[in-house]
Amino acid sequence: MPTQLEQLKTMTTVVADTGDFNAIEHYQPQDATTNPSLLLKAMQSDAFRPLGVEAMNWARQQNSADDVVALATDKLAVMIGCKLLEQVPGLVSTEVDARLSFDTMATVEKALTLISLYEEAGVDTSRVLIKIAATWEGIQAAHILESKGIRCNVTLVFSFAQARASAEAGVYLISPFVGRILDWYKANVPDQDYSGANDPGVVSVKAIYNYFKEHDFSTIVMGASFRNTSEIQQLAGCDRLTIGPALLEELAQSDAPLEQKLFTAKHVSPRDPVLSEQTFRWQMNQDKMASDKLGEGIRQFAVDQEKLEDLLIGLVE
């Protein structure tokens, strides 16, 4: 009997949510994705520190660099991305500095820098996704980048409004966060049954997936941030799922039958009027969970970005 991981791969593209090269080699996902928190974790390992030193030394040699540390972190992200591209046959996502989440043009400029660094490394940039937080400004930046042929992964998606605005902007892929939605409901509405299909993160992703398919949006739905294998099982059939090594291992250790839960729509409905900025902001304001988790996610990525920068500085002092 095939394992649940093997069964899942027949109905969903499995993405590794890690910068751990050994885990990627072991589980053989199609794609890989990173973020500042994962890069920070990787750099705390002795095996990765030489990459940090190399990135800092390279940045110091760039005469035009106004901010050596910022350029070094970009270079490090690209270096790790290049190594991941050697291991997976598909795509790798590289994240823009979360501190730019409310600045459309700064996000675009940072994305162009990352793509330029990939080009200098000889990478086929059609295999690179630029990862951007799902603020209104971030979604508009993704729209601009997509128009330039640069595909984007809009992340920290917690609400239907974020997902819909991203699809209407022509974004290649979104990452709705399943487990963090569950975290919020457990903390704020604790006396409920959130098991199985009742998991609010699962409910959110299913609604997004079904809306995209029903209205013929090409934007890929990639569920992320899982807390348990039940969430993954409930979303079997989703376009893509990005999964950490611990849960990949649980799936690999089980040979229980895995039922497909999500399917492409049989009928396509006309699209609704495009969501305006005012309506987007109002819907986000009215969704306390989404507002809380988006802000928290951006803050945490920003904190880890700063820790990563401090770590890089310490490597060459």
Give the residues across from 271 on adjacent strands.
none
Residue of 75, 110, 131, 206 marked catalytic: 131
Place of tokens 């507002």: 291
Distance CA 172, CA 139 (A): 11
Give the closest residue to 158 by CA, choosing from 112, 85, 208: 208
User: Two tokens at 89?
Assistant: 């046959």
Q: What is the Cα–Cα distance from 175 to 161, expressed in whole angstroms?
A: 13
Q: Which residues contact 136 (CB under 8 A, 6 or more apart)?
A: 165, 277, 280, 281
Q: Cβ-count burial of 174 within 10 angstroms (0-12 exposed, 13-18 middle, 19+ buried)?
A: buried
Among candidates 69, 77, 178, 162, which has minimal Cα distance to 128? 77
Q: Which residues, at least 6 apart from 81, have a Cβ–Cβ distance to it below 8 Å?
A: 34, 92, 94, 118, 123, 128
d(CA 3, CA 32): 21
| DSSP, res 291 | H
Active site residue 83: no
Beta strands in 253-298 (DSSP E): none
Q: Which residues contact 210 (CB under 8 A, 6 or more apart)?
A: 262, 265
* Residue 16 and residue 243 in contact, taking contact as beta carbons nearer than 8 Å: yes
The Cα-based distances of 76 to 95, 117, 284 in angstroms read 12, 10, 34
Question: Considering only CA atoms, which of 246, 305, 303, 252 is closest in space to residue 18?
Answer: 246
- List active site positions: 131
